Structure 1
Amino acid sequence: MSRKSVFNKKSILPDIKFNSILVSKFINLVMISGKKTLAESIVYYALDVLSNNTNKSHLESLENVLNNVRPVIEVKSRKIGGSIYQIPIEVKLDRGNTLAIRWIISFAKKRNEKFNIKIKLSNELLDALNNKGLSIKKRNEIYKIANANKAFAHYRW
């Protein structure tokens, strides 16, 4: 009998403005020290700028950005026979969205612009929509690592 407990996934409520769980997850990952209203204003401003530049709705443009940044495969470390292998594994949709949002937020914070986080996040979203920027570069690096370790895919279980 396995000792691992089954993880019950917590459900999050959709956001107020767009009634979307995806935007709510984005807001929760931007939030620092429990200041949700500040995180909401940051995300809504960035989505307004994004939708104004694309002439699409806020949710469509956010989904396009996440489709560009979302990784297809990633590598996991497994210890087999005393040596550690990087094994490529396909990424599920929820994990891919979480990784994409996390990368966008972290690279928006690291941008070398002398603006506030609202403008940095909107610029990072625009770069990700145009298939450039650090979050796209991160996705491509992980894809290259997974392709390089394709020979160890048979260790996956």
Structure 2
Amino acid sequence: MARITASRETLKPDPRYGSLLVSKFINCLMHDGKKTVAQNVFYNALDELKKKAPDVEPLDVFTQAIENVKPHIEVRSKRVGGAAYQVPMQVNRTRQQSLAIRWLLLAVRDKKGRPTHLKLADELFAAFNREGAAVTRRENVHRMADANKAFAHFAW
């Protein structure tokens, strides 16, 4: 399921904004090693964001969208005795970032019938406003963790 992306040591900032987060996102967006295609899709999506919200910087919309999708707590399966429990656990920073990127891209890829840069711009703008499929997924994960609070004592 998870795609292999450049590790933190070898990751170079993207050419337009000089951001490591943008570079990581482009690497996750990329298919079949076609990085320039992924860059064009991402930068076109940011240009669309500039048209939608001219008063806000598109890179700020992107980073805030990532922040709004990041989960703070998730459930992990833990076997105790013969039973498997869904135990709520804190999520570390790197996993928060990778889950947020993954959920945004899954939401974009689930939509059909339009160019990817338009779908990506719509999903980023929705996540910026705390709505959309990726934010719904985050809320579902938080709701699941909240429902399984009774098993929190198994998180050792």
Q: TM-score, normalised by structure 1?
A: 0.88
What SS is found at the alignment partner of 2:88? strand
Correspondence 1:145 to 2:144: yes
Task: State the partner residue of 2:95.
Answer: 95
Task: State the partner residue of 2:128.
Answer: 129
Residues 87 and 153 of structure 1 are in contact (CA less than 8 Å); yes or no, is this contact kept in structure 2? yes
Q: Structure 1: which 4+ aligned runs deviate by more than 4 Å?
A: none
What SS is found at the alignment partner of 1:141? helix
Residues 71 and 91 of structure 1 are in contact (CA less than 8 Å); yes or no, is this contact kept in structure 2? yes
Gaps of 5+ in 1: 1-8
Task: Give 1:52 deviation, angstroms.
Answer: 3.8
| Cα RMSD (Å) | 1.3
Distance 1:153 1:122 in 2: 38
Task: Give 1:68 deviation, angstroms.
Answer: 1.1
Distance 1:50 1:116 in 2: 14
What SS is found at the alignment partner of 2:61? helix
Aligned length: 148
Residues 29 and 38 of structure 2 are in contact (CA less than 8 Å); yes or no, is this contact kept in structure 1? yes
Q: TM-score, normalised by structure 2?
A: 0.89
Task: Give 1:120 deviation, angstroms.
Answer: 0.9
Task: Give 1:100 deviation, angstroms.
Answer: 0.8
Identity %: 39
Task: Give 1:130 deviation, angstroms.
Answer: 1.6
Residues 77 and 86 of structure 1 are in contact (CA less than 8 Å); yes or no, is this contact kept in structure 2? yes
Task: Give 1:59 deviation, angstroms.
Answer: 2.5
Residues 51 and 61 of structure 1 are in contact (CA less than 8 Å); yes or no, is this contact kept in structure 2? no
